[in-house]
Structures are given as C-alpha cells and as structure tokens.
C-alpha cells in the first residue's frame, strides 16, 4: 500500500509538475489521495506489527508452547484501535492543514507542504514508539522461548520450532518496518531543526522507496526456498499429533 502511495504521489508530480496552480492544504487532504495515505499508513503499519508481536509474546508467555487462539473480544479491540487511529490521524491532518500559516500550496500536494511541522513530528514519534515496542515484544518472546525450551524431542519441541520460525519472521518484518519508516522521519526532523534542505533527506526517502519492493522480493524468495521445508515440518507436526491422540 505504501508503494501504491508513492506511485500516486509521483504520478501527480508528473501530471502537475509544471503547473503553477495553487490550492489550499485542506483541498489536498480531502481530494488528493496520497497526502491522506501518507498521514495514516506509517502508524497503521507500525500498529499491525506491534499487535502481532504482542499476540505472539502473550501466547508464548502464557501457554508455554501450547497454542492459543486470539479471542473475539481481542479482535474487536484491535479493530477498534485501528479505526480510532485512522479517524484520529485524518482529523489531526485536517486540523493541521487548516491551521497552516500558508494557505496556498502547489497542486502537487506534497505532505510536507500540506501539514505543519508539529504534525510530522507527532507522526514520527508515535510511529517510532509502536515500531520499537514491537521489537521489544519480539525480543522478550525469544527469551521466553529459550526458558521454555524442552529437553526431550517431542510434539512440544516441534511446536516450539514452529513458533521460533514465526518469531524470526516477525522480527525481520519488525526491524525492516522500524528502519524503513523511522529513518526518513529522523533525517527529516534533523533537516527541519537545522532549517536547511539536506541531500540526506532525499536519499533517505529514495532508500525507503527502494527497500519496499526489495523486502517484498526477499520475503517471496525466502518463502519459495523454504516451501518444501515447511511442508515437511507440517507433516511432522500432524504425525506427532496423531500419535499423541492414539496414546
């Protein structure tokens, strides 16, 4: 979704790059799609990784490798949090655009021109909190699995191996999300504090654009390479469960 947002932004830049037309910041938030998506996607993505990491940590810590499905109440709470976050960020973005000193911006509608610096700082801080929080939960999950590591090779060991693979995959996603989202924000904040345009800011955004498809290709390649191993592991788990039920 972030890649689609970048495509929309650069498509609008190509369409109106030479235009001198001016619009209001609120017009950009309401009618242009990419500023609104840029305002809600970072926190939404960070929240998704955060709640996945939290669910894994709670499951491993409370059940000691015996699976536990997420309850319906937890699903309702998570969906409510996502909805509240999206509505809040859109409302704050509109408020920020309405209170921006310059009410005449380019029709290209770049997010940095549409909202205030305070909104960008808030977006960067909240996104960083969720990103680092997810990494903390995943590290705690790894430590918890080491404490619950069974000595005898049985069904519990196979389940633990599956959870270790899940935590490893989530950790890779968490690190990628933290770096890809926080690096441009951090460089941008430094550039705003120093009140100068930095080439590092442009390079950081370019690196984020490049890292998104590269990460997707990496995940696809890894899944294809591990497809046979996962099938073998799944068959082993099913066989162990059948043996346990017979006894």
User: DSSP letters of 18-33?
Assistant: T---EE-HHHHHHH-H
**What is the pLDDT averaged over residues 65-82?**
68
> What confidence tens digit (pLDDT) does each residue in 197-218 have?
556 656 666 666 666 666 666 6
Better pLDDT: 126 or 61: 126
> What confidence tens digit (pLDDT) does each residue in 138-197 have?
888 778 777 665 544 555 555 556 666 777 777 777 777 777 766 666 666 666 666 655
Task: State yes or no: pLDDT of 245 exceeds 60.
Answer: no
Q: Minimal CA–CA distance to 181: which of 32, 30, 28, 48?
A: 48
Task: Tell me what pLDDT residue 65 has.
Answer: 47
Question: What topology is assigned to 2-246 in CATH?
Answer: Rhopdopsin 7-helix transmembrane proteins (1.20.1070)
Task: Tell me what pLDDT residue 42 has.
Answer: 81
> What confidence tens digit (pLDDT) does each residue in 9-28 have?
778 888 887 778 888 888 88
Q: Determine phi and psi for 22, rounding to 5 degrees.
A: -120, 140
Task: Tell me what pLDDT residue 227 has.
Answer: 47
Task: State yes or no: pLDDT of 127 exceeds 70.
Answer: yes
pTM higher than 0.75 for the full model? no
Neighbours of 72 (CB within 10 A): 8
Whole-number percent of the chain with pLDDT over 70: 60
Task: Tell me what pLDDT residue 46 has.
Answer: 83
The rounded distance, in Å, linking the Cα atoms of 155 and 66 is: 10
The rounded distance, in Å, linking the Cα atoms of 13 and 3 is: 15
The rounded distance, in Å, linking the Cα atoms of 132 and 134 is: 5
Q: Determine phi and psi for 87, rounding to 5 degrees.
A: -65, -40
Element (H, E) at 100: none
Chain-wide mean pLDDT for the chain?
72
pLDDT confidence tier of residue 30, bands split at 50, 70 and 90: confident
* Residue 96 contacts residue 115 (beta carbons within 8 Å): yes
**What is the pLDDT averaged over residues 90-103?**
85
Residue 197 class from Cβ within 10 Å (0-12 exposed, 13-18 middle, 19+ buried)?
A: exposed
Task: Tell me what pLDDT residue 159 has.
Answer: 58
């Amino acid at each position: 979704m972030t890649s689609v947002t970048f495509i929309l932004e650069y498509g609008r830049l190509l369409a109106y790059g030479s235009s001198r037309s001016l619009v209001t910041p609120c017009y950009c938030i309401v009618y242009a799609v990419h500023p609104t998506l840029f305002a809600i996607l970072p926190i939404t993505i960070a929240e998704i990784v955060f709640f996945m990491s939290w669910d894994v940590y709670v499951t491993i810590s409370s059940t000691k490798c015996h699976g536990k499905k997420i309850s319906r109440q937890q699903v309702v709470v998570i969906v409510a949090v996502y909805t509240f976050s999206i509505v809040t960020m859109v409302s704050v973005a509109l408020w920020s655009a309405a209170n921006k000193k310059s009410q005449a911006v380019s029709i290209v509608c770049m997010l940095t021109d549409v909202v205030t610096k305070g909104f960008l700082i808030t977006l960067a801080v909240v996104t960083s909190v969720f990103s680092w929080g997810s990494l903390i939960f995943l590290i705690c999950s790894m430590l918890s699995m080491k404490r619950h590591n069974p000595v005898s090779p049985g069904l519990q060991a196979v389940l633990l191996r599956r959870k270790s693979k899940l935590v490893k995959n989530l950790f890779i996603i968490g690190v990628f999300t933290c770096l890809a989202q926080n690096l441009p924000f951090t460089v941008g904040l430094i550039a705003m504090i120093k009140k100068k345009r930095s080439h590092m800011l442009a390079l950081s955004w370019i690196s984020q654009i490049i890292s998104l498809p590269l990460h997707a290709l990496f995940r696809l390649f890894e899944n294809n390479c591990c497809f046979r191993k996962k099938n073998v592991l799944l068959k082993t788990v099913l066989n162990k469960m059948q043996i346990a039920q017979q006894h």
